[in-house]
């Protein structure tokens, strides 16, 4: 683990600008740290592929030259960033953690990756994930699990477990994940970092390998709220290649930071603090809320009555879309093709049988069933209706004057590897507090609010759709409140 990248983006950029640190040195230390993390026993397993130093020679030289001259440079100039392996890159393979795409290299780059490069970022590697982002522990990867850097016997969460672990282990200051039902926020919570899911449509999905198209959104993982805001500013904004991206101005998110929680109305929904919630998680969250209140926020208990239907509705919608999105992996054009099959149907069966893991198959079967003639209305239709009800719950709360909503990110701290892998329903309940933001298309962020049994606990804030600025402001206020509390205790 390299100390040089423990600091956040701002400190790193100051070091680069003042030439105390050169881009090539930084890159070398990052690559060494990644190699070191995988040489450890047990290996961290955060990355599925990593660039070679020589791959970035030109970019690094250009950056060092610009920095030397004091040129105006991009907001992420020289900053190493890890990218979840379901986001297309031309420089590295994009496997989605699946054997069916093993070795697949995309011939085009995702919009977010282009924007990263344009901002001067160094894309250093692709991070591990649950296969096609389906899972909450990164144990479903076709290429082995990622471990939690804070306790190698525990999972980092998922599906963006590799990205969260890479940031938490100090290998990179920033990473991109994707969040369909909590896949950025839940691993952020388990690993003690910040994870943001933007409003649906805020960030282009072009080049994000689709899991559930109406729920997927790419988001930043970072060491602090300010860095997450910086990364969001780089990747956000309309994209003509994604018709679901929204043509709204992208505010300078950092400018809204630093204001403190005074005057903020924070809604706390009682449905997110059920009786069976881990008492230590509940207590940690309660104390964060108190802290905010003492700093001038108005805390208001609210009700989001349809919360209980969120997980089933989420799985009806997400699996249906997934069953269609994953139809293209048929062995005809790219990726795995099982050999020896004698007919087209046999090619499909053999390829998909061998290439997909258990969880992916389970979801394809469930989703196919939910769209079938005679069942569509009962399953997919119901899922969509509940989705509307959940969105309306939030609209009412915000209309009543609530600025942001606070909840625990996950009902537990990081669990042990293997603990839930054979119990899909228990695994699905890891997402119970996060799926609602995806269903309602809202921005939501997880930030560390304390610890329980030595493991981090994440608090989640949800904001009005496309008001990431206020959400980030509230998140930073909470981050500072919790930080001050910790230093007082320390």
Residue 213 sits in the site that holds another protein (CB under 8 A): yes
- From 52, 70, 107, 490, residue interacting with another protein (rule: CB under 8 A): 107
- From 333, 422, 488, 490, residue interacting with another protein (rule: CB under 8 A): 333
Give yes or no: 451 in active site.
Answer: no
- Could you tell me what percentage of the chain is helix, strand and coil, using 3-state DSSP and rounding each to the nearest 5? 45, 15, 40
Kindly report the length of the chain.
490
Give yes or no: 84 in active site.
Answer: yes
- From 96, 116, 188, 285, residue interacting with another protein (rule: CB under 8 A): 96
Residue 101 sits in the site that holds another protein (CB under 8 A): yes
Greatest CA separation found in the chain? 71
SS3 59: helix
> Nearer to another protein by C-beta: 190 or 211?
211
CB of 160 to another protein, least distance (A): 16
User: Which 8-state DSSP code applies to residue 148?
Assistant: B
Cβ burial 395-406 (10 Å sphere, 16+ → b, else e): eebbeeebbbbb
Element (H, E) at 461: strand 455-463
Residue 210 sits in the site that holds another protein (CB under 8 A): yes
Residue 88 sits in the site that holds another protein (CB under 8 A): yes
Residue 242 sits in the site that holds another protein (CB under 8 A): yes
Cβ neighbourhood burial of 334 (10 Å; 0-12, 13-18, 19+): middle
- From 9, 282, 320, 461, residue interacting with another protein (rule: CB under 8 A): 320
d(CA 373, CA 411): 36
- From 18, 41, 58, 243, residue interacting with another protein (rule: CB under 8 A): 243
CB of 343 to another protein, least distance (A): 10
d(CA 245, CA 253): 18
Size of site (CB under 8 A) for another protein: 44
Lookup result for tokens 């477990």: 161
Cβ neighbourhood burial of 114 (10 Å; 0-12, 13-18, 19+): middle
Of 159, 245, 256, 323, the active-site residue reads: 159
- From 57, 372, 388, 418, residue interacting with another protein (rule: CB under 8 A): 372
Q: Which residues are catalytic?
A: 84, 159, 183
Q: Which residues bind to another protein, rule: CB under 8 A?
A: 86-88, 94, 96, 101, 104, 106-108, 110, 205-210, 212-214, 240-244, 320-321, 323-324, 326-328, 330, 332-334, 344, 348, 368, 371-373, 376, 380
């Amino acid at each position: 683990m390299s100390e040089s990248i423990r600091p956040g983006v701002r400190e790193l950029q100051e070091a680069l600008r003042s030439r105390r640190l050169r881009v090539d040195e930084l890159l070398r230390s990052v690559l060494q740290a990644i190699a070191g993390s995988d040489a450890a026993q047990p290996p961290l397993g955060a990355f599925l592929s990593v660039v070679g130093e020589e791959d970035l020679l030109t970019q690094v030289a250009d950056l060092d030259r610009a920095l030397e001259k004091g040129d105006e440079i991009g907001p992420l100039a020289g900053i190493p960033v890890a990218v979840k392996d379901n986001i297309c890159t031309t420089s590295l393979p994009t496997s989605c953690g699946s054997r069916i795409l093993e070795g697949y290299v995309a011939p085009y780059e995702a919009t977010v990756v282009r924007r990263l490069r344009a901002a001067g970022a160094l894309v250093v590697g692709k991070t591990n994930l649950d296969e096609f982002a389906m899972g909450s522990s990164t144990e479903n990867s076709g290429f082995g699990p990622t471990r939690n850097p804070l306790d190698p016997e525990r999972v980092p969460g998922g599906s963006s477990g590799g990205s969260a672990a890479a940031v938490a282990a100090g290998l990179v200051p920033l990473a991109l994940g994707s969040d369909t039902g909590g896949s950025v926020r839940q691993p952020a919570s388990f690993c003690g970092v910040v994870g943001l899911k933007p409003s649906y449509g805020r960030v282009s999905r072009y080049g994000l390998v689709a899991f559930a198209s109406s729920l997927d959104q790419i988001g930043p993982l970072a060491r602090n709220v300010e860095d997450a805001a910086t990364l969001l500013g780089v990747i956000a904004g309309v994209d003509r290649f994604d018709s679901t991206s929204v043509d709204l101005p992208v505010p300078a998110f950092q400018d809204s930071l630093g204001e403190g929680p005074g005057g903020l109305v924070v809604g706390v929904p009682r449905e997110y603090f059920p009786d069976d919630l881990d008492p230590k998680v509940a207590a940690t969250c309660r104390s964060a809320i108190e802290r905010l209140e003492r700093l001038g926020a108005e805390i208001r208990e609210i009700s989001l009555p349809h919360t209980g239907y969120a997980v089933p509705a989420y799985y009806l919608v997400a699996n249906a879309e997934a069953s269609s999105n994953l139809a293209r992996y048929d062995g005809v054009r790219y990726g795995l093709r099982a050999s020896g099959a004698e007919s087209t149907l046999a090619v499909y069966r053999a390829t998909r049988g061998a290439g997909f893991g258990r969880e992916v198959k389970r979801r394809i079967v469930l989703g196919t069933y939910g769209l079938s003639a005679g069942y569509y209305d009962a399953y997919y239709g119901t899922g969509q209706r509940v989705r509307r009800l959940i969105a309306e719950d939030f609209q009412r709360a915000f209309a009543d004057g609530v600025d942001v909503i606070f909840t625990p990110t996950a009902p537990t701290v990081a669990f042990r590897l293997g603990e839930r892998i054979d119990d899909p329903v228990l695994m699905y309940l890891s997402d119970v507090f996060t799926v609602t933001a995806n269903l309602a298309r809202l921005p939501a962020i997880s930030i560390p609010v304390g610890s329980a049994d030595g493991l981090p606990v994440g608090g989640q804030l949800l904001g009005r759709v496309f008001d990431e600025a206020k959400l980030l402001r509230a998140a930073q206020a909470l981050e500072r409140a919790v930080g001050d509390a910790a230093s007082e205790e320390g």
